[in-house]
């Protein structure tokens, strides 16, 4: 991996399907595009999937996948991993919503990798507890963006196995369990990346962060349907406020959101669409 100080963005020399028509025409921020983003020793390959974006984070000897929303996304991720030329070692769900995890266990199985959960997600899965759902009135922020995302229907490959993951009734029975991602500690297999617990969108949400480059793989803590916004779908307003106050001082230069294109720029988090704290 080359070390560059500037943020470099490039495409991937692999054919990808076009973004859905509705996304290309209606989504204010436009579609997420397959791309490679690198700076200061960090490299992330973004692969737009059926329901969310898989972010492939490159380590010295292995790759870590942040989210695999659909089993049908796995062939694209396989092609990208082949292009990089490193094995997939870990699959990391940023939180336990269906659109981020229906392909996680199957991806781990096919790659011979392990699923690494954040501390709270690990407890919820171990104790077969259902995660707390989002506040009902904030779910209105799901529907228009789902249209912007192309109104994806469930892939046949995601039924029935995938429906055990990420829904209100799901107990998320991951079978390929691996190391725990401890808050504030290094992410296994990566160099210089740490796990941050970022509750608010969900209780168990995590981000992974590379301080040297200012790269933040954000899951659904930040989304980019409208130019970059704190996710308005919220499980706990007070926790989300606290998360945002903790994140804002970080010198983030690139955000890899679970939905929408990669965001880059200096002091990036301060420029996101504001969190609607008045909705509590
Ligand atoms: Fe989510």
CA distance 109 to 278: 43
The predicted pLDDT at position 20 comes to 85
Q: Per-residue pLDDT tens for 10-63?
A: 999 888 888 888 888 778 888 999 999 999 999 999 999 999 999 999 999 999
- In the reported structure, the alpha carbon of residue 4 is separated from the centroid of ligand 1 by a whole-number distance in angstroms of 32
Quick one: tokens of 218?
């954000």
Q: pTM score > 0.75 for this model?
A: yes
* CATH architecture entry for 8-12+19-279: 4-Layer Sandwich (3.60)
> First-to-last CA distance in the chain?
45
* Residue range 197-251, pLDDT digits in tens: 999 999 999 999 999 999 999 999 999 999 999 999 999 999 999 999 999 999 9
- The DSSP string of 136-159 is GGGGHHHHHHHHHTT-PPPPGGGT
* Ligand 1 center to 98 CA (angstroms): 8
Of 145, 179, 176, the residue nearest 161 (C-alpha): 176
Tell me how far the alpha carbon of residue 206 lies from the centroid of ligand 1, in angstroms.
11
CA of 26 to the centre of ligand 1 (A): 21
220 Cα: distance to centroid of ligand 1 (angstroms): 5
Beta strands, E only, the chain: 8-10, 35-39, 42-48, 53-58, 63-66, 88-92, 114-115, 194-197, 206-210, 215-219, 222-223, 229-230, 254-257, 263-264
């Amino acid at each position: 991996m080359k070390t560059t100080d500037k943020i470099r963005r490039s495409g991937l020399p692999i054919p990808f399907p076009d973004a859905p028509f509705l996304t290309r025409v209606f989504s204010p921020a436009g579609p997420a595009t397959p791309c490679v983003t690198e700076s200061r020793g960090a490299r992330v390959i973004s692969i737009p999937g059926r329901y969310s974006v898989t972010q492939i984070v490159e380590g010295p000897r292995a790759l870590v996948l942040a989210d695999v929303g659909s089993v049908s996304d796995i062939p694209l991720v396989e092609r990208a991993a082949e292009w990089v030329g490193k094995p997939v070692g870990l699959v990391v769900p940023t939180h336990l919503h269906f659109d981020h995890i229906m392909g996680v266990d199957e991806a781990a199985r096919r790659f011979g990798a392990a699923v690494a959960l954040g501390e709270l997600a690990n407890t919820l899965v171990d104790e077969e507890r259902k995660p707390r759902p989002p506040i009902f009135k904030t779910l209105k922020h799901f529907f228009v963006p789902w249209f912007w995302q192309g109104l994806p229907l469930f892939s046949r490959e995601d039924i029935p196995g995938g429906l055990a993951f990420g829904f209100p009734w799901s107990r998320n029975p991951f079978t390929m369990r691996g190391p725990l991602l401890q808050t504030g500690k290094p992410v296994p297999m990566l160099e210089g990346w740490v796990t941050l617990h970022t509750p608010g969108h969900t209780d168990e949400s995590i981000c992974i962060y590379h301080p040297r480059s200012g790269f933040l793989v954000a899951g659904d803590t930040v989304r980019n349907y409208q130019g970059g916004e704190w996710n308005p779908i919220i499980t706990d307003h007070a926790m989300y406020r606290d998360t945002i106050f903790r994140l804002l001082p970080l010198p983030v230069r690139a955000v890899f959101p679970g939905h929408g294109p990669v965001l880059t720029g200096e002091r990036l988090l301060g420029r996101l669409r504001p969190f609607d704290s008045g909705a509590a």
